[in-house]
A and B are shown apart, each in its own frame.
Chain A
Amino acid sequence: MNVVIMGCGRVGAALAVDLDNEDNEVVIVDIDPSAFRFLPDGFKGTTHVGNGTDVDVLRRIGIDRADIFVSATRGDNRNVMAAQIAKHIFGVKVAACRVFDPLREEMYRNMGIRTISPTRVQARRLKRMIEAPTDEAANDVVAEFMLQDGASA
């Protein structure tokens, strides 16, 4: 699969590495050239410095060929704008993004963008963790989350 990721923070970079390890063609774009430090040396994908909400930048990095677009910057507005451009202007089949604000997350989900709100997810997980009767039980809860996410460690 051809994947374009916007935002090379910890989340964007970790996603890029996972997808790269599964032999996808990964292109990652970030406005800040120093952001790519989060990528390990063996990363086989391509990196681009630029603004992922700019149609010219997206075109240049091959959005036309992308099967998947993911935006994972810190800005909700930037993320949903880029994902909508990918989906509705360039016809990318899967457009996904991170949206911190749960209300905006729900709205854009209803508009055909795959969205996830880390705020909502983390709040629920924190709650389940603190509700565990003992520290050991809390650790088990966390281990269970890791298992659900398919983490190997």
Chain B
Amino acid sequence: MSQAALASLLPLPVAIPLCGAAAAPLLARLSRKLPVIVSVAALAGSAAVLLLEAPSVLRGRVIAHYMGHWTPVHGQVLGIAFAADPFGLLLALAAAVIGAILMLYTLSELGGLGPRELGGYACLFQLLIAAVIGAALTADLFNLFVWFEVAALSSFGLAGFFLERPLALEAAFKILVLTTLASFAVFIGAGLLYAETGALNFAQLHGSLAGHITTPDAIALGLLVAGFGTKAGLVPFHGWLPDVHTAAPGPVNALFSGIMDSLGVLAIARIVFQVYGTAHTPVLGLLMTLGLISALLGAIMALAQDDLKRLLAYDTISQVGIIVVGLAAGNAAGIAGAIYHLVNHALFKSLLFLAAGTIVHRTGLTKLSQMGGLARHMPVVAAAFMLGVASIAGVPPFNGYVSLSLIHQGLQDGHETVPYVLTLVAQVITLAALGRAAWLAFFRRRAEDYKWRDTLRPGMLAGFASLGACCVAFGVAGPVVLRRLMAPAASSLLHPGQYAAGVLSGSAKLAALRIPFDYFSPAELVSVAVSVAVAAILAWGYLRIREPLVIRALRAIHTGSANDYAAYAIAGTLAAIAVLSLG
């Protein structure tokens, strides 16, 4: 297909799920499960259009489409641009495909809900995925804000979806407070940047900011990083994340953790690399700090949790931290590893949350201390969970191994020794937390027997099988994935000038990037083996000791009060602004 035809198809991946969302509550009147079936079809259709674009874009092309054909005049842009670069396309595709899988899973897991609930659920679900795809494809700052708000509104609805549960209400209030504060930050940031440069299009902004960066520009950058950091769940903007995950059903957890978080990371990456460039501000140092704090705090808090879903939610904070550390390394290996890990995280965390959701849904138990011996009762769920744990652990041949190795390689290439060591520490604690959870839930002996007897339904099996297969495939085919998918995506972030040229002219070619990667690197294999061993000892030890002071202190900070979480977020925002405008 010609470039022009491909470009004109770009709005479709967003438009299809938006139509599906609008139709869902109406379809629910015809038949109970119809909205869910239609949304599987809509998301698959969206993925199909993105796949149509993929061959051309992943060969390193940037394709742009201007809404209503308001094309640039002398480099000045008024219209809203959608631009597909390898980075955005990859994440949009991941969102659409995983969204379709989650919907398929929903069909058998939440199929018992009434028509009104299923209609509303399918509507909000598709809205959120449309927002993530829109954010991945847009090349306009204000349009990005709008997608942020669409994602925010639908996430409020999904967080409070089970309104009968008081926990869900509490969680919904916290996500509302923090996301609303974040939206103010993004809004003021976008407005300041526009007032300063007169541009909203990423390409035009890149041109205006190339020379030097004024203080208002730096303040805007701080606000944007803080705002999108809230969506990504970076510490100290993370207060909403564990609570929302504790209260929501499994597929919604997977949607929030796997897909919605990537909106925040994606927006930060675009703004930092493709709009501002990394030369003039200490933004990479800021991201490195935020990433390391998130990685460590998330991992430690995960180790201390008794609630299975809450544990996985804190692990999400930790993994997002690792991804941001990879971005902050700023070199080809680090960025490619970060993008790789972002996709991997969406896959394995969705798998883990679906497994956890199945357990909670079937047994009614949420606490690890009440579970035990589930491996015998639910072998498929246990296998899926263990596959997810192995992927996070970075055990070859699963997908986490390749992405973590790349991030480590990026940190070593940049001679960032301290971050490298801290990343490894976070990795060991994460592994200990998940190993502890797996032991307590699946393998420990449990005195009394479970009451339920229920077989797995086809939709659930399809969900587990497809996500698990992706985890293995992305690990086994690591070098190919890196060369074909991740290297072009990293190239897009590393060559903002070429991305900008593509957005302005409608089509441009990105420089090819070669990232050396040794699958059987002895150092990396040894480091994996050592961290698994240390993690096993740590998990074993943690089960036997009283809660250490560090964990008690960290628990005390997480007071559960929306006021306190808002205060942390505001303090973080002010600190980010101070670092960027004074540094």
The judgment on whether A and B are partners is no
